[in-house]
Every structure is written in C-alpha cells, then in structure tokens.
Structure 1
Amino acid sequence: MSRPSSLDPLFRSLHAIKGVGDKLAALLSRFFGAPEGQEAIALDILMHMPSGVVDRSRQVGIAEAYLNQIVTLRLHIDRHQPPPRGKPHVPHRVFAHDQTGDVQLVFFRAQGGWVEKALPVGEERFVSGQIGFFNGEKQITHPDYIVEADKFDTLPLVEPVYPLTNGLSSKALAKLVRQVVETVPALPEWIDDATIAERRWPSFGEAMRAVHLPANPAEAELWSPARMRLAYDEYLAGQLTLQLIRSSMVAAHGVARQFTGEITEKVTAALPFSLTEGQQQAVEDIRADLAKPERMSRLLQGDVGAGKTVVALMAMAAAAESGAQSAMMAPTELLANQHFRTLKPLCEAAGLGCELLTGKMPAGERRAILARIASGETTIVVGTHALFQSGVVFHDLGLTVVDEQHRFGVHQRLALSDKGRHTDLLVMTATPIPRTLVLTHFGDMAVSVLRQKPKGRQPIDTAVLSIKDYGRVVARLQARLAEGAQAFWVCPLVEESEHLEVVAAEDRFAELRKVFGDQVALVHGRMSAAAKDEVMSRFAANELKLLIATTVIEVGVDVPNASIMIIEHAERFGLAQLHQLRGRVGRGSQRSACLLLYKEPLSDTARARLDTIKSTEDGFEIAERDLELRGQGDVLGTRQSGMPGYRLAVPDVHRHLLDFAHEDAKAALAVNPGLVGERGEALRTLLYLFRKDQAIQLIRAG
C-alpha cells in the first residue's frame, strides 16, 4: 500500500503554499533539515512546534494597562507628531485616547508616511503591544499589531512564538502555519476510544489546531491535552517502528541452538577469575535466547570495565557448541586488536580457532584468513566493519556481536543481520544508557545490564583542582612516574576546531616534554591510524610513561599499568565523556587517581558535572544526571548520527508517555501484526505521518 491520498496536502512541496517563493522555500528547507536535494514540505511546518505564546487577550482601558504588560487597546487616534526635519533619531509620536485615559504610540525611523496611513486621525484602531512609560506618560513603542475596527478577528489574541532562523520573521512563519493547519485532513483515529476518553485528548487535527492556533494560552502549554496527545503520537510512531524492526529480525528466521557445554566449560576453566553475578545472569539470558527458534536481538549494557567481552566470549562459545561461527565487530582497529588480544589465549585454551581481520592486512595473509573463515576452520572472527564487506564469506555465521552500538543505528542493525540469514545479534555498549533512551533507541531489543565491576578492580580517587595548581600537579606526577606508574593527560577540543585541538595538545606536549623528556608522547585525531597505534602500543608496553592525548583514547584502550588520568579543561567535557575517560584507569592492581583540572570561571552546569563525577563511579547514575543536565540527543552523541530527535515530544515533560507508547505498540502488533483492517490502516497513516516509511515496508514483509 502506498501513502493514503488523504495525506497529500501535508506532503506537498512548500512552493504549493501561497506566498512561498524560491528564496523562502530554500531557507525553510535548510531550516527544517530536508535531505540533500529535497525540499521541505507542508508537514515540516505543521510539526514545527511553538516554544511559547504571547497572550494579547488582556483587553482593558488605558487606565488599567500597567507597565510591561502586553495589552490590546481600542483607541481613538488624535494627532501625529513627526520628527523635525533633519533629526531622524527623534521618534514619530502618535497621540491617542479611550474613555479612561491617554497613550502615545512611538515609532523610530518611520519613513514613507506609512504610520499616517495605518493610524488615520479621527478614526478608531485596535492596537496591541507592550506598555512602557516615558516622562510619566504611558506609551507603546512599535506596536505588534494595528488593526481596523471591523477586522478585529484578524488580530491573534493568543499568539504562538516559534523558533526562527536568520531571514525568517515570526509573522511570515505564523501565516504559513495558519495556511497549513487549515489543510490538515480528517484522519482515522489510531488511539482507542477508551484511552481518548480517559485522557480527554482531542483528535490529531484538533490537537494541531489547538497548539498552533490556541484560543487561550493554556491550550498551547506543554502539558495541555493537545500537546500530550501529539507527543504520544510521535512516541507511538517510533515504538511501532522499533517493534516492527524487531519482528522482522526475529520472525521465524532463527535457529534453535543446542549446547553440549564442553566448550563453555573449557573457557570457564581458562578464565583467570570467576564471573560476577551480573555476568552469569547475562550469559544465562543469552543462552536462553540462543536456544529459542526466534532470532536473538539483545543489548548488553555494562559500565566501562564491567567485563562485557567475557560475556560475549561465553555467548560465542555457546554458539560454537551448536556448530556456528561468530563475528565480533568493533568501531576501530585499535579496539578490534584489543578484543583479539583478550580473546585469543582463551580461545586457544578451549580449542577454538580465533582470527583478526582488519582492513590493513597484507593481501596474502588476508586471503588465507578469508579461506579459513569460508571453510569453517575459524570459529570466531574479530574485526572492524570490514567484516561485513562483500568479499567476506562465512561458512555458517550464527552470532554477530557488535561493540559500541551507539555508533550506528537501526539501518545498520538490519544490514548486519543480512550477512548471516539466521544470525543472532548481541550488541554491547559501555555508555550506560538511561531507561528512557533504551526504550527510544533500542526498544526493539531485549536488555541485560552488568552493574558490578569485576573483582580486583580498584576504586578511583577523583579530585577536582584549578589549573592554577599546574605546578603542584606536575611535581606530584614526577614523583608517581618515578615510582613506576604510567599516566594519561587528556586535552580537550578547543573551539571545535581540529587545527586548534592539535595546537592545544601540542603546546601541552611541548611543556611536559621539558620535564619528562622522551618518556612522553602525543596522540591526536589527525594522526594516521598507524602512527596512533604505534604510540599506543609503546605506551601499553610501558616504553612510554606519559601519554598526552585528545579524546581519541575515550573508547576502550586498555593499559592495566596506567593508574593516573589527568583531564585538562574538564569543564569542557560532557559527563558521559568524563566518565568514559576516567574508566581508562583503575584497570590494574594498584590504586588509581583521576584529576579534573578546570579553568575559572565555572558555569553552574559545569560545576554540577564535576561534582557528579567526583561523588560517584556508578555509570548509570551519571547517565541519568547527564540526561537532566544535557537533554537526550546529546547523551548518545546522536545529534550528528541522525537518530530520532523529537519534534513534538519534550522528554522532560512527556517521558511518562513513552512507557505507554511502548506497551501500546507491543499490544497493537500482538493483535494485528499485519496492521490490517480499520485500526491497522489508521496506524499505518500514523507511520506515514511521522515518515516511518521504512517500517511500513517491514509490515509487508511480515
């Protein structure tokens, strides 16, 4: 089925709307972030929510109009006092009155006689604006509206205020909004009657009208029934999409795996420690998923150092018992190498063939590895996304493990699982994700959480110091390095410019080199991967004592001997980033320290961030706090990666509706998986309305 024709008015290009020329259309397309080469459409304007309202409904006599109030007055125009010749900075004043008093209307640089035309002497006009005082007289400077007495109904008494962009006036946008709202078609209702009645929600069309053309200020509030309804609709469309992805990935494609236990037992015996309770629980969850005929789609969340790699290995060992291969994919070669180093000795002990496949290998070596993967001799393959290029053929790929999932979204989850027709999917992330975000971005996945740190992990002493103490910090560092410790020194991005970022790190490197000589080295984002890897491996081998870095070390570098982390300009980092960076130390047996150096003056938010990091090492608590301080798009770094940012829902106010939407979407698809019949058609309309066309293709497949 294609998009219902009833929605056509909302999908027409902006050019079809009266008063939109090429220039305005181009401006709006940029503003609404239309995909490259496409224009914004009427729907973009409809979904552009007001950020507040101006209330002009206070219609009083001049006597009751008080300072700084916005009022609407019915005035009799008495006389004009234009500025004297040659004094353009003197304003044009218009004197007016009603039965209760006098008021002046003031216009600066009013050329061309338009003021006289708009306010003819002897006539009545409605005037709306903010009351000011000048020399004891009431006045309105540059009224927002001047309307003839018989056209009063064109004056918006409750006026929504919209986020704007350079070159777009609020009046022009309001006019467009009004035109688009008039064309919202009558749509079939996708919410059941009981819910609508219980929550007293209007229909979709009525809700849009209430928010954009409110009759009173309360209608446009974020917690008004209209806005709640629209936020719920947006969440519901997102949750339906995730559930459809889940059912298309899970639907009857899976293989019910059988386990002998012999390989997992060998791996367990080879481990230098016993699994934590959380790890054990996660392994059981995964085995239960693998044993079912549906495909597994599970998210494994664990803080930095909670031991996710070992859980993944147990899962891969279980898959091997049923004769299947596993692939483990990391976001960078550095991380792929590290996973491989962790896994290889354990695999050997259990008799599993384990290989590393990266883009940089010599051709001959690569061919030999590809042959072993294709023949099934290799059971576990570790690599970057190069694993999923067309030249790589698996004998029988049963399980895909993806590390640091937030780097790629739903589309990639679908592409990945195409490599193995029946592949189970396990996704690992070290970014602790608050529950609300798990629902919005991973609502299609089951979740396991590792909360404990593995045994032997040392707590990290965290201190916050002003950069003024630089001298003391360096002296202390000298003493610690002399005792055999290793340290990271992280410099921030400066002004978001790569060039400056390197300068900042290079300046610090030059300074510290005077003290530490060739014991110190530098890594930053503009070095080649090979150069970075070379420095990192020298640091890991303890040939270097101090590593100065930009945030390239944020994810996953493992140097157990490094026990000191110094973060310069800590006030410039987000909470999640600070937490990730701190997690680079505390991996060995000695007590570790993290120093946060800040520069005055600190903003309240920055102070709150530093206090949070100082007071807790619990990544989940930090993530919840981060969500409060930053808003949700940033927590996952999704501002760039095109994850669903919301336009109608405001998470802080509407978060509770997400849970409803999650349950409702599950229930709707459980009764009506093909979305057929009247209710099904209505839900499809909802998906089109929120442009989830990708999900609609999945219904057909199902």
Structure 2
Amino acid sequence: MRPSLLDPLFAPITSLEGVGPKVATMIEKVVPADLGDRSARVGDLLFVLPHSVIDRRNRPGIALAAEGAIVTLEVRIDRHQPPPRGNRSVPYRVYAHDDTGEIALTFFHAHAAYLEKQMPVGEHVVVSGRMEWFNGRPSMVHPDHIAPLSDAASLPLVEPVYPLTAGLSGKVLRRAIGQALGRLPELPDWLDPTVAKKHSFPAFAAALERLHDPSDPIDLSPEGAAWRRLAYDEFLAGQLSLALTRTHVRRLSGRPLKGDGRIEDAIRKALPYSLTGSQEFALAEINADLAEPERMLRLLQGDVGSGKTVVALLAMARAVEAGGQAALMAPTEILARQHLATITPLAERAGLKVAILTGREKGRERSATLAGLEDGSIDMVVGTHALFQEPVKFRDLVLAVVDEQHRFGVHQRLAITAKGDAPDMLVMTATPIPRTLVLTAFGDMDVSRLTEKPAGRRPIRTVTLPLDRLDELIGRISDAVAEGQKVYWICPLVEESEEIKLTSAEDRFAILKQEFGDIVGLVHGRMKGAEKDEAMRAFKEGETKILVATTVIEVGVDVPDATIMVIEHAERFGLAQLHQLRGRVGRGDKPSSCVLLYKDPLGETAKKRLSVMRDTEDGFLISEEDLKLRGEGELLGTRQSGTPGFQVARIEFHADLLEVARDDARLILARDPDLQTERGQALRVLLYLFGRDEAVRLLRAG
C-alpha cells in the first residue's frame, strides 16, 4: 500500500485552486514525468523546475535603463491618458517619473477603473518589467508587477521562469507549483547520512524550496547543491528499482543450460571465418552465465559490424543443446528477416529448424509456426514483438535474445520473461551507449562489449561536402556505379514538408532516376512490408545500384557489396544515428566511403558533430561525444520510448552521482532486501515519489 503520508501528492492537479480540466491539460504538457495513460498529480508539479530566472534587483533609474532589460523602478504617478472613446486600438498610457526622467506605462485593452485604483495620481509605486525605447522615449508595456511603495518588499526579486506551452501563463503555473509545495508533507529522510554529508546535500524539501524560490540566479544551477540533491534522489530511485527488478527476475530461478558442444561445433565449422578475440571472450561470459542456475540478464554491446548476431547464434545453439528453444526478437521486420537470412543457413548445417514470426505471417504458414513452437519441433524462432503476444506458446523457451534493446523498455523485458519458465535473456545493441547510460537503462544487467571488428573489414573514409557541390558528387557516383559499386543515399524525410525545406527521399529518388534510370530504388517507412522487402532484395541482388532511403535502413541491413553511403542534410542527424548509418557500408573487402552532405551555414553543434564523424570510427568514443552534445533523453530516444528519461537529473551534469547511487542501492538491498528497516520504509516513499511503483509491487510479489 502507498503510505497515506503521500496522499496529498497523489491527488489530481485539478484539486488545486485555479486548475480546471483545461488548465490541467496544458500543465500536463510541461510536466517532465512520463504520464503514460494517467493524469498529472500534485506531486508531478514539484519536479517542473525553472529553466532560468528574472533578476529584478536591477534598479538603474528610468534614463539609465537599457533597451530590453528587465528593471525595477520606483516612480511617482503623474497622469492617466485613456484612449479616445470608441477607439480600442489606442493603448491606455500612465505617465510617471523618477529623478532621472519620465516613462510611459502602456496597457492594451485596459480596464481604466482598475488602473486608476492601482496607480492613483501623486502616489509612489514600484513597477517591474521589460524596458522599451521608441524614438528616444522610454516605455514599459504591461509591467509584470505593480505595487505601492509600502508593499515593495512583497515583490519577488529573483523570479523563476518555467517551461510554458501555448495558452499557459507563467503566473498560473507558478501558483499551481506554489500550492503543490504547500502540500508537501514532512517526509522521512532516505539518504545515507555519509553520502549527504560528503556532497553537502540539503534536505529534500529545502532543495525544492531553493529551486522554486531562488534568492540568487546561482541557486538554479544544475551544478548547485539543491539540484544535485534531487538528481541523486532520482538516480537512487531508478537504481533501486532496477536492482529490485534484477533480484526479482533472478529469483524466478532459471536453470543451468549446459550442452555437449556438438551443435556449436557444427555451426563454427560452417562459418567462413574464425571468431575475433572479443567475440570469444563475450561468448565465454555468456556460456558461464547459461551454466549457472540463476537467470542470465546480459547486455551485449558491439559496434555496427562487430559480429553480435554470430555470438547470439552460438548462445542459442547452447540453449538448444540443453534441450530447450531459443527466440531472437528484432525491432523491425526488415531486421528480423535479415537475422533470419544470416542464421538459417548456419543453423540448418547443424540440423536445426528455424522459423520466422512477424505481423506479416498469416494463415497456414502462421498456424504451422505456432504449432511447431508449441510442440517443440522448431528449435529457434526469429521475429518482431509479435513473438511475445498472447497466442504464441513455446514448448520450452530457455533463451530470449532481444536486438536493439533501447527500442524496448523494461516492461517488454518482463513480458518476455512471462513466456517461458523464466528464460535466460541476452540483449544486444549496436548503439554504443556511454557507460553512464548503461547504468541508467540497463543497471539490472551484466555487460559484455565487442571491441574489435571482424577480420577483413576495411576502414571507411568519411568526407564532408556542402550541398552546393552536389553535381560533382553525382559525377563521382556515376563513375563508381559504372565500376559496379552500390550506393545508399539517405534523406531525412519521406516527402517534402512545408515547414522544413529539405529534399525528401521521394524528390531525390525522382531526380536520381532522371540521371541514372531504373538502377535507382526507393525504400521508406511508409511503404508496406512487402514493398520494402522487394526494394531491399532488388538492391541486394544488384538489379538496382543506388538505393534512396530514409533511416529505416539504419539498424542491421546487410548488403556487403555496398561501398558508398551518402547522407543528405547530415547536420540534421544525431551522432549515434550517423554512426549507425555509416556502418551499413564497409562490410565487404572493398574500400568504402561515407559522404556527409550538409547545408551551409552550420551551427556550432552540427560542426562539432560532423568533425567527430570525420575523425573517428570508434562507436564508444562517438557515443560519449553524443552524450555531451545532446543530453541523455535524446540519446536513448527516451522522449518517445518510455525508457528511463529523467525528470530532474541531467546526465551531462550529474553523471558522477550515478555510480554512487548504484553502489548505495546495491548495499541497501544486500542489508535490507525487503526494505523493512526504518531507512527501507523511507526508501519506499522515495520510490513512490519518483513513479517507481512497479518496484514496490515486486517487493510484495517477491
């Protein structure tokens, strides 16, 4: 049960004064919590943090106030000048002065009686707002604050500025947040006193108070003690919930999977090459995990083309040797079919039966696959998330391999868990993830890294080219195609959009088709599955030599004789994505190149991004740079996918706290696995505060 102490924070925001359904909908747009299908609660408002402040301590006097500056002035009211009767387009002006000069306070669509009451002639008042100068005359349009001199002390001197959305005013949001802070109950402290002391963390309530009511702009720095305290709380909640998931998942005891090695040997013999040192090392780690009675939860990180699929296949072979079935799940159909094409010939040489299951298999074919999985005649199955939907039953699923994990959240991991008798799990990703993010998204897993490229892979030469040299590029491509080379041409959009002036895939396809004729193909996300497969087949078999595509081809598409990758408007892509796309070439034995086409002028970040791409092919290095340039939410794509994006923490500022939180979480659970002690109970409150309710449920289920 949620502690009743938290009830005030779990009330809907419509229980706050001045927040009706319409305002609530607008506030929900600025709440950083992942609301999913629930409405915003009072507690969510605590974490809507200001992004900057208005400093009203600037009091220069009228004549010395700079254009556009926010200033506070003490003035005497001289006269009111209402607009001519019947002409509402002329503003209402109130003239006032101080020792340095005169100013017009300007109001559109004003209520005269209200203004006369606020600013009686002869009265001294304090006004605060943005200065504007017209023809040498100072003016302030709609001052933010007006108060009699006697109430000047009530003006907020340093005022927080919050993220807003259309229709939501700062005043309304500030009032709602103020009420939420007022409802914050006295909470037990969940911090380890030594951690709190070492980092000079203020108390939880004091940290919130300082951020929402700053007395100096420095109070709002993400590197200040108040923000760091809340970031640590959020990390601790996340690490605790991952550690609980891990404990729970391991407790659903797996079983030791030991094989005799004959299937693995048969597959190794069928391989046209031998494994790299890091593939052998990763495989040894995986096999050691499989042999243990606890469940395996392992992340296999490897750059594009480092040979993850083969490692996964050999692990799946071990599972089949032990008498069970294995499943490989990919995020897209293109990728699932490609894995099938890689795995089937090798598996069949070892006498295994492999099937595919995506949303596209229908009728008899689908029924036969479902029957084969249920009676155990199918040893391995490759598919999309269709594999883990209700009607699919396995005779004995012992190993689930999930490719490109960041596309699937922790919840999907748990859904897979439910399919077999707690199958071992191997998760693969070609998105090189910086160490800090591995901790946040995969803190519940052990990690293996593939750091070498397979033998025979050639480095890829990367060049940057401005769009105005396009003709030159087309000439060079014409020569390359004549020599039998194949080209990917990536565009950021499917069709031209009004707002963004970019060449879309469809336009580029039309232009290149005029130049090269029928050897140009097109593939994008809006095509039907069968059309995409047909376009990929034609390119693979050489019927087309130039494939114009959107980023659908980013993950895992394998055409070994494609040697040129053109990325149009490269400045619009993130580093990780550029790196993924570049990895589609350089898969054969011929030298390959990647051309990053950009539109001048380039912003600072875009320049930096393109130069990183030119300088290195090391995916892990690229991912660290990407993190610096973009922040964590973008990197994991979490803004869309519901994996752990953060409400308060900013990886780029708070990464050092992440390891501390992980160690703290592991230590707590080692000492108090059911969170029953006094600190354990306080930590339950923390888990609820940061929306980690599932973790508390696991405590009960455990």
Same fold (TM over 0.5): yes
Tell me which residue corresponds to 1:466.
466
In structure 2, relative to structure 1, the CA distance for the partners of 1:226 and 1:278 (3 Å cut) is same
Residue 5 of structure 2 aligns with an amino acid whose one-letter code is S
Tell me which residue corresponds to 2:456.
456
Tell me which residue corresponds to 1:415.
415
How many Å separate the matches in 2 of 1:483 and 1:270? 32
How many Å separate the matches in 2 of 1:552 and 1:133? 53
**What are the within-5 Å matches in structure 2 for residues 222-621 of structure 1?**
222-361=222-361, 363-493=363-493, 504-621=504-621
Q: Could you tell me whether the CA contact under 8 Å between 1:266 and 1:349 is conserved in 2?
A: yes
Match of 1:585, SS state, is: coil
Q: Is 2:26 aligned against 1:14?
A: no
Structure 1 residue 311 displacement after superposition: 0.8
**Could you say what the CA RMSD is over the residues aligned between the two structures, in angstroms?**
2.8
Match of 1:593, SS state, is: strand
Residue 159 of structure 2 aligns with an amino acid whose one-letter code is E
Structure 1 residue 544 displacement after superposition: 2.1
Structure 1 residue 569 displacement after superposition: 2.3
How many Å separate the matches in 2 of 1:387 and 1:69? 60
Q: Could you tell me whether the CA contact under 8 Å between 2:82 and 2:112 is conserved in 1?
A: no
Instruction: Please give the TM-score of this superposition, normalised by the length of structure 1.
Output: 0.92
Out of 465-474 and 206-215, give the one that drifted further: 465-474
In structure 2, relative to structure 1, the CA distance for the partners of 1:167 and 1:132 (3 Å cut) is closer
Q: Could you tell me whether the CA contact under 8 Å between 1:244 and 1:699 is conserved in 2?
A: yes
Structure 1 residue 361 displacement after superposition: 3.7
Q: Is 2:30 aligned against 1:27?
A: no
Q: Is 2:43 aligned against 1:43?
A: yes
Residue 95 of structure 1 aligns with an amino acid whose one-letter code is A
Q: Could you tell me whether the CA contact under 8 Å between 2:495 and 2:507 is conserved in 1?
A: no
Tell me which residue corresponds to 2:699.
699
How many Å separate the matches in 1 of 2:62 and 2:574? 51
How many Å separate the matches in 1 of 2:135 and 2:491? 56
- Structure 2: stretches of 5+ with no match in the other structure: none
Out of 300-309 and 595-604, give the one that drifted further: 595-604
Residue 107 of structure 1 aligns with an amino acid whose one-letter code is T
In structure 2, relative to structure 1, the CA distance for the partners of 1:515 and 1:122 (3 Å cut) is closer
How many Å separate the matches in 2 of 1:483 and 1:63? 74
Out of 58-67 and 317-326, give the one that drifted further: 58-67
Tell me which residue corresponds to 1:154.
154
Q: State the Cα deviation string for residues 264-284 of structure 1 (Å, max 9, x = none).
A: 233223222111111111111
Match of 2:188, SS state, is: coil
Match of 2:479, SS state, is: helix
Structure 1 residue 71 displacement after superposition: 5.0
How many Å separate the matches in 1 of 2:37 and 2:310? 46
In structure 2, relative to structure 1, the CA distance for the partners of 1:246 and 1:36 (3 Å cut) is closer
Structure 1 residue 292 displacement after superposition: 1.7
In structure 2, relative to structure 1, the CA distance for the partners of 1:296 and 1:36 (3 Å cut) is closer
In structure 2, relative to structure 1, the CA distance for the partners of 1:93 and 1:125 (3 Å cut) is closer
Structure 1 residue 537 displacement after superposition: 1.2
Structure 1 residue 372 displacement after superposition: 3.4
Q: Could you tell me whether the CA contact under 8 Å between 1:329 and 1:403 is conserved in 2?
A: yes
In structure 2, relative to structure 1, the CA distance for the partners of 1:94 and 1:522 (3 Å cut) is same
In structure 2, relative to structure 1, the CA distance for the partners of 1:305 and 1:675 (3 Å cut) is same
Q: Is 2:78 aligned against 1:79?
A: yes
In structure 2, relative to structure 1, the CA distance for the partners of 1:294 and 1:478 (3 Å cut) is same
How many Å separate the matches in 1 of 2:21 and 2:638? 31
Out of 84-93 and 564-573, give the one that drifted further: 84-93
Match of 1:146, SS state, is: strand
Match of 1:425, SS state, is: strand
How many Å separate the matches in 2 of 1:62 and 1:682? 53
In structure 2, relative to structure 1, the CA distance for the partners of 1:216 and 1:507 (3 Å cut) is closer
How many Å separate the matches in 1 of 2:649 and 2:164? 19
Instruction: Please give the TM-score of this superposition, normalised by the length of structure 2.
Output: 0.92
In structure 2, relative to structure 1, the CA distance for the partners of 1:37 and 1:532 (3 Å cut) is closer
How many Å separate the matches in 1 of 2:334 and 2:4? 51
Q: Could you tell me whether the CA contact under 8 Å between 1:89 and 1:108 is conserved in 2?
A: no
Q: State the Cα deviation string for residues 588-607 of structure 1 (Å, max 9, x = none).
A: 11111222222333333222
Out of 551-560 and 194-203, give the one that drifted further: 194-203
Match of 1:419, SS state, is: coil
Q: State the Cα deviation string for residues 504-559 of structure 1 (Å, max 9, x = none).
A: 32332222223322222222222211111112112212222222222221111111
How many Å separate the matches in 2 of 1:235 and 1:595? 40
How many Å separate the matches in 2 of 1:129 and 1:393? 67
In structure 2, relative to structure 1, the CA distance for the partners of 1:517 and 1:67 (3 Å cut) is closer
How many Å separate the matches in 1 of 2:52 and 2:515? 56
Q: Is 2:108 aligned against 1:92?
A: no
Q: Could you tell me whether the CA contact under 8 Å between 1:80 and 1:116 is conserved in 2?
A: no
Q: Could you tell me whether the CA contact under 8 Å between 2:66 and 2:131 is conserved in 1?
A: yes
**What are the within-5 Å matches in structure 2 for residues 44-123 of structure 1?**
44-57=44-57, 70-75=70-75, 77-82=76-81, 85=84, 89=90, 92-97=93-98, 104=103, 106-109=105-108, 110-123=110-123
Structure 1 residue 185 displacement after superposition: 0.5
Q: Could you tell me whether the CA contact under 8 Å between 1:502 and 1:524 is conserved in 2?
A: no
Q: Could you tell me whether the CA contact under 8 Å between 1:235 and 1:661 is conserved in 2?
A: yes
In structure 2, relative to structure 1, the CA distance for the partners of 1:371 and 1:85 (3 Å cut) is closer
Q: Could you tell me whether the CA contact under 8 Å between 1:105 and 1:143 is conserved in 2?
A: no
Residue 425 of structure 2 aligns with an amino acid whose one-letter code is L
In structure 2, relative to structure 1, the CA distance for the partners of 1:268 and 1:209 (3 Å cut) is same
Match of 2:349, SS state, is: helix
Out of 429-438 and 151-160, give the one that drifted further: 151-160
Match of 1:226, SS state, is: helix
Q: State the Cα deviation string for residues 572-614 of structure 1 (Å, max 9, x = none).
A: 2222222111111111111112222223333332222222212
Q: Could you tell me whether the CA contact under 8 Å between 1:185 and 1:205 is conserved in 2?
A: no
Residue 655 of structure 1 aligns with an amino acid whose one-letter code is A
In structure 2, relative to structure 1, the CA distance for the partners of 1:610 and 1:85 (3 Å cut) is same
Q: Could you tell me whether the CA contact under 8 Å between 2:91 and 2:106 is conserved in 1?
A: no
How many Å separate the matches in 1 of 2:61 and 2:488? 69
Out of 558-567 and 306-315, give the one that drifted further: 558-567
In structure 2, relative to structure 1, the CA distance for the partners of 1:215 and 1:609 (3 Å cut) is closer
Out of 35-44 and 85-94, give the one that drifted further: 85-94
Structure 1 residue 380 displacement after superposition: 1.9
How many Å separate the matches in 1 of 2:141 and 2:463? 54
How many Å separate the matches in 2 of 1:27 and 1:369? 48
How many Å separate the matches in 1 of 2:344 and 2:612? 38
- Structure 1: stretches of 5+ with no match in the other structure: none
Structure 1 residue 618 displacement after superposition: 1.2
Tell me which residue corresponds to 2:199.
199
Q: Could you tell me whether the CA contact under 8 Å between 2:329 and 2:402 is conserved in 1?
A: yes
How many Å separate the matches in 2 of 1:221 and 1:629? 18
Q: Could you tell me whether the CA contact under 8 Å between 1:501 and 1:550 is conserved in 2?
A: no
Q: State the Cα deviation string for residues 168-211 of structure 1 (Å, max 9, x = none).
A: 22122222222221221000100022222332222211111111
Match of 2:293, SS state, is: coil
How many Å separate the matches in 1 of 2:480 and 2:492? 24
Q: Could you tell me whether the CA contact under 8 Å between 1:236 and 1:662 is conserved in 2?
A: yes
In structure 2, relative to structure 1, the CA distance for the partners of 1:469 and 1:215 (3 Å cut) is closer
Residue 378 of structure 1 aligns with an amino acid whose one-letter code is I
